[in-house]
Amino acid sequence: MISSVFFDLDGTIINSQEGIIKALQYMYKKIGLYHDEATLKTFIGPPLGETFVKYDGMDPDNEEGIQEWINIFREYYDDKGWRENTIYSGVEEMLTSLNKQKVPVYIATSKPERTAKRIINDLNMDKYIEDVFGAADIESQRNAKKDVITYGLNNLPSSFDKSNIAMVGDRKNDIEGGHYNDLRSIGVLYGYGDLTELKNAKSFRNF
């Protein structure tokens, strides 16, 4: 029996595509690079620094350069993009059902924690969620999903039953982060990943 659930945010609880893509387009225009919208959609989920290394050839050790690009991204996102979200159909009903069953619900996201909390409150979702665990503002300090989940687990109440926790997400970093922390990993197919990606990450269940 699942005792509690950690949910990813982007692509699992909310459709955040509009705001993130607009912020990426703003950033790339400012630094003089270009990716089409279909490519930018694949950027949603993993930490931005990993994406810059994979798609733009950024040196993974260039923490200052990565943070500079992220700061440009935030010029748009922190102003407008953070509000350009919609809640996926059926999510509120699912969370209501979990609450009625007294299954604690948490958010574990690679989005900065302060931004994730802001979004949850803006969408009036805080009533369903016990706490929000996210990345640090400085990406090099805490950004990988496995580290966010570890951070979340370490911040649960000492009396909390940490057995049989599930991690639910739409990208391989959610599934692999769950496995890293010995959680059940559940993949969803309505977000930004696909069946092949989730199967390769060995999700516990796809639906």
Q: Which two tokens stand for residue 93?
A: 């009903």
Average pLDDT for residues 81-107, to the nearest whole number? 96
End-to-end CA, the chain:
18
What does residue 69 show for φ and ψ, rounded to 5 degrees?
A: -65, -40
| pTM for the whole structure | 0.88
The burial class, CB within 10 Å (0-12 / 13-18 / 19+), for 123 is middle
Predicted confidence (pLDDT) per residue in 137-164, tens digit: 776 678 789 999 999 999 998 877 777 8
Residues in the chain: 207
Average pLDDT of the residues of the chain:
92
Q: Could you identify the residue written with the tokens 């769950």? A: 178
Structural domains in the chain? Answer: 4-15+85-206 (3.40.50.1000), 17-83 (1.10.150.240)
What pLDDT is stored for residue 207 in this prediction? 39
Cα–Cα distance for residue pair 172/180, rounded to 1 Å: 12
Question: Using 50, 70 and 90 to split pLDDT, how confident is the model at 203?
Answer: low
**Residue 122 or 139, more confident:** 122
- As a whole number, mean pLDDT of residues 59-66 equals 93
Taking residues 187-199, report their average pLDDT.
92
Residue 206 pLDDT greater than 50, yes or no: no
